[in-house]
Amino acid sequence: MIPKAKALKLISIYLYICKLHNEELKYMTQRYTNNDKPEFTDQEIMTLYLFAVQEEKRFSVSQVYSFANNYLSSWFPALPSYKAFNNRLNRLSEAFKAVAAHSFATFVPSECDVDVSLLDSMPIITCSGKRKAKVAVEITDKGYCSTKSMYYFGFKLHALAFHNPHRLPFPEQIVITPASENDLNVFRQDWSNIPNRTFFGDKIYNDAKFFQDLAINVNSTMLTPVKAVKGQPDVIKQRDKAADDLFSTAVSTVRQPIESLFNWLIAKTDIQRASKVRSTNGLLVHVFGKIAAAFIYLVFNS
């Protein structure tokens, strides 16, 4: 048994997932077999996962299943074996991705400044860079995290988020790439066509020529801390130091909350640690399922 307040939350999540399933998720989970209507539905699997991660802090699939088996068996009498549950869950990464995207598009806080966006990335680690990667090698690779001063294998999660004064920024889009992908390349490919926007990023987004063209073509601006120019005379560096330091501090102050967003996401879901994942599909569920679970509360608090 679970407390009444949590029982109501479980029911709410189930009804929300059923609504989304009827509108769009069914096209991502459709089966072309004789078992196209299983007794234990995809809606129930997604509800269990989202509820257990968000409400109970059960971050691994085995913990989710154990919680459901011990405390929710009367709610889900058709709960299959752990192996079957895991196999079914691993097919639902696109559905979880759609749930997260729906939350981002539908529940943007009214106080967000939609003309100002913050950019950053964080690592999703499958194993240390000192070891040989064996999981999802077709979609992950080796990268370096300057914040942690470490090499690692895995993904890089890139976030574009609306500035939300005095609160955590709100995600507009999230993109995952292999760990070695440069943040600037992701911006060029996914977000460089966004018009009339002011972006705040770190020094890795510093490319004067590219962003001059961006300002001309789509009227968008990228602001980053000042990056030292290689070979610049010391006299010029000292002359501009005060102004450059003030500008860099101002940009970093505006951009810093996106790091707090990542810290919040890690605390809510333990998304950064993927060392226990054993398959490509499992890794995708780990990423998109955790993101969906973190933001599912927006459905009930908007």
Which parts of 106-250 are beta strand (E)? 113-128, 141-145, 150-163, 170-178, 198-200, 221-223
Q: Please report, for the chain, the start and end positions of each structural domain, with discontinuous segments joined by +.
A: 4-102+277-301, 110-269
pLDDT of residue 184: 95
Give the CATH number of domain 110-269; options: 3.30.420, 2.60.40, 1.10.1130, 1.10.760: 3.30.420
Chunk the chain into consecutive blocks of 10 residues (it has 302) and report each block's average pLDDT, rounded to whole numbers.
88 93 84 72 95 93 95 93 94 93 90 95 92 88 89 95 92 95 95 96 90 94 82 65 85 93 93 92 95 84 59
d(CA 202, CA 40): 46
pLDDT of residue 34: 63
Q: Helix 234-255 vs helix 257-269: angle between axes, to the nearest 10 degrees?
A: 50
Token pair listed for 296: 């599912």
pLDDT of residue 72: 94
The whole model's pTM is what?
A: 0.90
Residue closest to 159 by CA, chosen among 118, 208, 104, 218:
118
Between strands 198-200 and 113-128, the pairing is: parallel
Estimate to the nearest angstrom the gap between the alpha carbon of 15 and the chain centroid.
Answer: 24
d(CA 25, CA 94): 8
| Residues 113, 115, 118: CA angle, nearest 5 degrees | 80
Token pair listed for 287: 């990423």
How many beta carbons lie within 10 A of that of residue 28, not counting itself?
16
176, 198 contact by CB (below 8 A): no
